[in-house]
Amino acid sequence: MGLFDRVRGLFGGDDPEPQPATGHDDAEVAPEPASDPEGRARGGVNEATEDEKSGSHGSHWDTVTTGQMDVISTIRGAVESGMPTEWRTGDGEPVVGYRAGAGPVSTLVVTSTGGELWTAYPVAEGLTHELTVQSVVPWANGAEAQLTGTLGDATVSLFATNFVTIDEPIEGPRQVELAALCYDLNPADDETLTVDDEHEFSTAGMAGFVPFDGGDVDDYVFQTRIESVRECEFGDVTLYRCRVPLFRDAHGTDYEISLYAAEHVCDGYVPEPGDDVEGVFWLQGWLS
């Protein structure tokens, strides 16, 4: 089976295009071997066994593409134009990586040395912070992982976009470039909330995030205020790249990230500086 047959297999062969997901559709830790969320298996390389986690990027691609064929074309282009680099997984198995893309959102593809597709996902430029990594959950293929750590006075979990390139322990203080890709983005209404039956406060200008019920650990519901915005492209898709606070700590310090929202996830809304927005995003980070 060729590489691009594997690409099609990632999305269920020649079946109709999957419907857009509202969150990450990864399997739980140690699922049954036959578990294959939404028919997006990877030919077995990411099939979980006991104490391992399988994963899928189907819903992540929904943030920057509008259909299955767009994803296939993007992965094909990355392999054909990207410079191949040899890495080793956590188990020491050699793999080949390709990264391609002219804008702030690029594509990372990982294959076996024989050309079997292992994984492919979008990678976004972000803003750098120091994250104290507390735990690492590798995926079954050994090339991907999610991290949990502390950022200021908050605890965050994220997908490590360059896990396969790192050959040293990750736990402890690390510089991480944080970015978020939106599943949806909407203007947020200003509400007045009451705490302890007496203290009122407005949600205007609020910046915060909470886990998305039904999503994976790196999926969050958020509200924030846009500081700046500019348009960029990912293939034929227009993205809004926004600088926003992920959250504001108890001392009033904003921890800013790059937030990306494609036109198709905004449902006609065009974000502007000063807008309060809400939605659901996938949080990722590139470790240095």
Helix (H) or strand (E) holding 77: helix 68-81
In contact, 119 and 43? CB cutoff 8 Å: no
| Residues near 248 by beta carbon (within 8 Å), at least 6 away in sequence | 207, 208, 254, 255
pLDDT in tens, 2-58: 444 544 454 444 433 333 333 333 322 222 222 233 333 333 445 555 567 877 898
pLDDT bracket for residue 196 (50, 70, 90): low
Give the pLDDT score at 239.
98
Q: What per-residue confidence (pLDDT) applies to 91?
A: 83
Pick 205 or 11 by higher pLDDT: 205
Structure tokens that stand for 219 in this block: 């999926």
Does residue 202 carry a pLDDT above 80? no
The one-character DSSP state at 139 is B
Report the amino acid identity of residue 106: S
What is the per-residue pLDDT across 220-260, written as a single tens digit (0 to 9) for each? 999 999 999 999 999 999 999 999 999 999 899 999 999 99
pLDDT for res 49: 54
With the C-alpha atoms ordered 90, 258, 18, 215, is the resulting torsion angle positive or negative?
Answer: positive
The structural domains of the chain, with segments of one domain joined by +, span: 3-124, 127-287
What letter would DSSP give residue 68?
A: H
Assign 86 to helix, strand or coil: strand
Count of CB atoms situated within 10 Å of the CB of 115: 13
CA-based torsion, 17, 102, 42, 169: positive or negative: negative
On whether the CB atoms of residues 124 and 113 are closer than 8 A, the answer is no
pLDDT digits (tens, 9 = 90+) for 90-149: 888 999 999 999 899 999 999 999 999 999 999 999 999 999 999 999 999 999 999 999
